[in-house]
Amino acid sequence: MKSFTKWPAIIGLICALHGNASSGEPERIFRGFMIDAPRGVETMDHYFKLMDFCQKTGMNSMILRLTDDQGSAYRFTSHPELNLCDGAFSTKDLTQLVEYAKTKDIELIPEIESFGHSSYITKTAKYGFLNDGPPGEEFNALCPVNDATVDLLKDLYAEVAAIFPSRYLHIGCDEVNWGAGAASKLALETKSKDQIWAEYVNKLNARVKAIGKQTVIWGDVPIHQTRAILDLLDKDIVIMDWNYWETDKAKVVENANAVLSRGFKLIGCPAVSWCGWGPRVGELQFENINAYAEAYHELRGPNNLGVILSNWVPKRYLQGSQWDTYTIAAELLRHNGNYHYMDAIPEFVTSHFGAKPDADWKMIYRTLYEKSPQATCGKNANLIFVPWAKEQDIKNLLFANQQIPNPFKQAAALAASCQDRVTKNAGDFADLRLTTEFMPYCHDRQDALFTFANSNPSDENAVGNYFKQVALEDQAMLAKLDPAWKRGRRADPPTMDKDFLWSIEIAAAYSQHLANHPAEFIALLKARGN
């Protein structure tokens, strides 16, 4: 492996010019936003717009995630063999983002996954031997006891640090599922998992410090899984407490104090959006942000570095439909919690859409926030909204044996009536309006199947014709969604991806499959009573 031995001295000089922890520059208290580039690389213009938004709403920092299982969103020149995301950025692209962030007084912090979420490395032929995750499991890991892992990451850190002047480098380390490889099994004969975990992260921290940066890691393992690790980690590592479902301020404070009392610096991390939601988030998410905003405002001491909002998997929604959610999240931070999300809507409607806020606008947003159901990883997850896309979905629907209310039809009608009132950001409103059409479409699609199934159809022609009609309607919806989704993206929608707009493309393929194989559906109905 090629090692860039001259990088540390070069990076140290760059960091000294820009200011870092050793320069005496005071710590910035973060009020920030996270970009999840590997799960849907978006355009430079969109990221510029996000930076404009952050400056306008008083946010001063952004984390730019560059790698994940889906690939690297940056084309590393030191290691071009790494698995890339479609639309991955060049060095020139990242430099432009950094320079624009400076004009907005935004600290742009890069993140490189260094333990879990590492398929961008292990799925390449050259580094498959570093995979330490159990076969078939959702989460994976790089081998923490192989020196080749650290050597590779040292190169990636150095290259990114040369582009980003931020004093911080985020190295990930969340959702780690390691220990399946022979080398790790051997190491575990003489050391505990906590010891190996901490020793590995400390090694990475040494590489980060050598290039003049401070290490940031996600805190799920040392805070929420095994706090004994906190006593083994280097105290100059910054820990981010991410938790997207906690709404109890007291619990947020307790977790924070567990870190702060041991001398670590800490960043709170609630979520704007994550896998608990689909095209829209619900009001429960604002309760999560509110708890963190209030708790971190009340926590005292220089090691409380503030709050950064995570925003995961942007391929799940239409991009322009989210600005009201971002605005509410920013207002929750600005008010240090104790803020009702609907209070942000009148000013948002006026400033973003140039429209006069009235009862129609209020009803649209109240419906979206109060009624949006959670997805498969949410605390209150259910199948109310996810479009059926496989045999098991239909079995679940038949087993539930009930129709569901469709609260979004009125919101869709109101959005259509507001069209002529919009004088600004028409593209964003088009995304919002299409989202309000898509959500009732998915509800109606499920209810219609439930009604059809309970008519006990047994004729293959009738069943085939039913699913042909569904398949036509699915394709019509996709024809609207695809071009809307592409706006602001650097690549086409992912093919048959379960995260793309909540599996609608997979659902459309499945309805076509049943149109061609109606006997499969009839067999499902017959098996229902067994």
State the chain's maximal CA–CA distance in angstroms. 78
C-alpha–C-alpha distance, residues 322 and 435, integer Å: 10
Residue 377 forms part of a structural domain: yes
Return phi, psi of residue 51, to 5°.
-65, -40
CB 138 within 8 A of CB 199: no
pLDDT at 10 > cutoff 60: no
Q: Is residue 387 part of a domain?
A: yes
Q: Does 301 fall in a domain?
A: no
Residue 348 in any domain: the answer is: no
Q: Does residue 399 carry a pLDDT above 90?
A: no
Helix (H, G, I), strand (E, B) or coil at 144: coil
Among 354, 236, 340, residue whose Cα is nearest residue 289: 340
Query: Where does residue 368 rank: exposed (0-12), middle (13-18), buried (19+ CB within 10 A)?
Result: buried
Residues 6+ apart with CB under 8 A from 196: 144, 145, 184, 187, 188
Query: Residue 21: pLDDT above 80?
Result: no
pLDDT number for residue 527: 87
Tokens of 401: 């044996």
- What tens digit of pLDDT does each residue of 321-338 get? 999 999 999 999 999 998
Give the orientation angle of helix 249-260 with respect to helix 283-298, to 10 degrees.
Answer: 40
The number of residues making up the chain comes to 530
Nearest to 62 by CA among 272, 285, 309: 309
pLDDT of amino acid 24? 53
Conformational region of residue 62, where left means phi above 0, alpha means psi within -120 to 50, and beta covers everything else? beta
Q: Is the pLDDT of residue 195 over 80?
A: yes
Task: Give buried/exposed letters for 199-237 (b at 16+ CB in 10 A, else e).
Answer: ebbebbbebbbbbbbbbbbbbbbbbeeeeebbebbeeeb
The answer to whether residue 231 sits within a structural domain is no
Strongest mean pLDDT among 19-28, 89-98, 130-139, 451-460? 89-98
Q: What is the rounded average pLDDT of the residues 127-146?
A: 94
Show the domain range for 477: 360-527
User: Cα angle vertex 107, ends 103, 109, to 5°?
Assistant: 135
Region 231-244: what's the mean pLDDT? 98
pLDDT band at 26 (very low <50, low <70, confident <90, very high): low
For residue 410, the surrounding DSSP H or E stretch is: helix 409-418
For residues 275 and 139, the answer to whether their CB atoms sit within 8 Å is: no
3-state secondary structure 205-272: HHHHHHCCCEEEEECHHHHHHCHHHHHCCCCCCEEEEECCCCCCHHHHHHHHHHHHCCCCEEEEECEE
Position 501 confidence tier, pLDDT thresholds 50, 70, 90? confident
Which helix (H) or strand (E) element contains residue 405? Answer: none
The verdict on residue 405 lying in a domain is yes
Q: How confident is the model at residue 7 (pLDDT cuts 50, 70, 90)?
A: very low
- Asked, for residue 265, whether it belongs to a domain, the answer is no
**Domain count across the chain:** 1
Per-residue pLDDT tens digits for 66-84: 999 999 999 999 999 999 9
Residue 473 domain-assigned (yes or no): yes
Residue 18 confidence class, pLDDT cut points 50, 70, 90: very low
